[in-house]
Each structure stands twice: as C-alpha cells, then as structure tokens.
Amino acid sequence: MTLNELEYEGKSWTTWMEEMASLADNTQIAYLRAFNTVAEEWNMNPEEMFAQKMRELKSEDPRDRMGTEKRINKFMKKLEDAGISPEGARMIKKAMNSFYSAQGLILLYKRRKNKKNGHKGQRAISRDSIRMLIETNGIRNMQKNAALYNILNDSGLRVSDIANMTVGAYREAETVLNEQEEPFKVFDPDRTRKTGVVAYIHLGPEAAKRVDAYLAYREERGEILTDDSPLFIDREGRQYTEKRLSNTISTTCRLRGLRRTSAHSFRKRHKTQLERYMPLNWVLMLEGKTYNEYSAPTEDELTEAYIKNYHAIRVYGDEIYQALTEEQVEELRSLREKFTTFENHLRGIDKLRARAVGGK
C-alpha cells in the first residue's frame, strides 16, 4: 500500500499526507493500513473524522470531549479479542495520533486501569487450565503444544527465550535424578535475550518427558535434528519468532475461553507458586531476573531447592501440596523468611571473619 493507493480527498487528508512525507516508507505503510482499517470500521472518511473531533471539543459536557479516543480504545480491544497482537492493535492508536496531530489536534486518553501492569492485567494461569490446554490439543499439535506449555510452566522463562532455544541446548543440559529417579534438566547459565540477565534454567520431569516425546515425533517424521535446530518449530518447519509464538499462545488461550491469559501467565504462575517455598531471590535467578547476589545460593543449592520444591509447579500429581490452606502457606512463608534472614546473618559473619583473618 502506498500514499497514492488510497482515494481520500479533502484538506484533512492532504495535510496528513504532507506530514507523512517525512516518515520512513515502512512507517507510512503501517500507518496507512491502520488508518484504512479504522475508516472502514467507523464508515467515515478523513474529513468526517476531523469534523467529529471538532464537535467533541466544542461540547459543553466534558464527558463528550473524548469520544474519538474512547472509540479508538474500544476498537483496539475488539482487535485484541479477535486475536490481533497487542503490537498490531497499538498501531491503530499510533496511526490515529499521527492523523489528528497533523490537524493540530492532540488526542488525550484516559489511562487504562491495568496500565501499571506491564502485561495488561494478565493473570497467573492455574494448574487446571494448563491441564485443559494440554488435553484439548488437536492431533497436529499434540506433541508440540504439550511440550511448550510444560516448558513454559517449569522454566518460568520469557517467550523470547523459549522461541530461541535449540535442540543442542536441551540435549546438552545436565540430567539430575530426584529420589523417585525422575529426570530434571539443568541448563548451563545463559543470558536472557530481553535484559541480558543470567537465567539458571531448570526443567522438571513433566517438561523433560514432553520435550523428549516431541523431538522423537519430529525425528519419526523424517526431520534431521542438529544442535542448531530450533527446539520449537511452526507448521512450515520454521523457527518461531518471539511475536509469532506469543500470538499463537495468546490465541489458543482465548479460543479455550481463558481470558487475560498469555505466555506471561505461565511465568507469573512459576514465580507465585515457587516463592511459597523458596526465597524470592532464588526464584528470580531461575527466571533470569535481577537478583541480590549477596543472598544468592550456589548453583548446586539452587538445583537442590528446585527439585525439592518442584511439587509447587507440578501440573499432574502431588495433590497434597496443592491443598495447603492459606494459613499453612503463610506459616511456611514466614518460616522461610526467618531462615533466609538467619542464613544471611551467618554469611555476613563468615565474610567479616574472613576479612579479619586476612587482615592479620
């Protein structure tokens, strides 16, 4: 789509086109597509949009002065509910802001109530919801989606890190057995793509079992897997981009009736469940978030704690741990905090003792 392909007339359109001439070609195309989508949805041309906004601004009732902004937000929500990515929906707002700005008008939006939440009020996914996603897979995606949901749940990683995982990284991860001889995967510490903070990636037996089955399925279909092969591929055999994988998960959740649920919902569950039984600082290390190095455990201690408390995020089994009352959970959290404080004091004493000995 180019500037000449849309057949709009009038001063409002001409003014915007003159303003748009200084923008990059890709930006122009994106804005034009978004604007045309709005024009078709509202059944209005540029002159009518401008006239409508001018009427709103002249209204004596302040509640009527933001009608255009409300319609834009409403349309964005409609698009997101239909499966359009948040980035795609936000392009609508960017294009309309550009159009009205060229007319000398600034759109004012009321802050969305969940604006302070970086992920639009998305909730932590429940264990039952994960089960439902796994058990309602179509045959084509049965192995892949089960592995994907379990690895999101067990690792707590961002979708960008999952999308860029390789078969080699998974197969080279150390296998550690618990007392029941279930296999846990412990990866080499690696920097996350978004922030560069090191993540100490661990996977439990549920994820390991699903991933092994998924890779075996791909090999049975004739795919030759190498260390550089993506851990997850789409229907065409291509590596997922972060955006496509995130959209796929969000759309699947929406179609299953799970509102405000996305890939980040698994990350929220991972943190919320594990911090019931482990120091928060340790959970941050697992997820690749900034943590306090002063109270950080050794890698072996972190692995031991993950295995010991895996029941907290297990999707199947260990029902007794899932049935803890809030009072019991609070008591465990209080005891954990006391232990962590005591442990930090001991480490501080050890450091002071070491300095004193060194000073001698």
- Specify the pLDDT at position 117: 44
From 264, 277, 355, 343, select the one nearest 314 (Cα to Cα). 277
- How far apart, in whole angstroms, are the C-alpha atoms of residue 239 and residue 250? 18
- How far apart, in whole angstroms, are the C-alpha atoms of residue 161 and residue 65? 44
Burial class (CB in 10 A: 0-12, 13-18, 19+), 86: middle
Size of the chain in residues: 360
Full-prediction pTM beyond 0.95? Answer: no
Number of H helices, E strands in the chain: 16, 5
**How many CB atoms neighbour CB 223 within 10 A?**
13
The residues pairing with 354 across neighbouring beta strands, listed in sequence order, are none
Cβ atoms of residues 134 and 149 within 8 Å: yes
Q: At what angle do helices 67-81 and 25-42 cross, to 10 degrees?
A: 100
- How far apart, in whole angstroms, are the C-alpha atoms of residue 237 and residue 234? 5
- Specify the pLDDT at position 354: 74
Joined together, the tokens standing for residue 249 give: 């998960």
- How far apart, in whole angstroms, are the C-alpha atoms of residue 328 and residue 24? 58
From 72, 140, 85, select the one nearest 112 (Cα to Cα). 72
The CATH number given to 127-273 is 1.10.443.10
- How far apart, in whole angstroms, are the C-alpha atoms of residue 149 and residue 240? 15
- How far apart, in whole angstroms, are the C-alpha atoms of residue 101 and residue 163? 38
Residues of the chain short of pLDDT 70, as ranges, are 1-7, 110-122, 138-140, 318-340, 343-344, 347, 358-360
Sheet of 183-186: strand order equals 174-177, 183-186, 202-203
What is the sign, positive or negative, of the torsion defined by CA atoms of 133, 139, 141, 144? positive
Cβ atoms of residues 291 and 285 within 8 Å: yes
Q: Where in the chain is the domain with CATH 1.10.443.10?
A: 127-273
User: Coil, strand or helix: which one is 92?
Assistant: helix
- Specify the pLDDT at position 182: 93
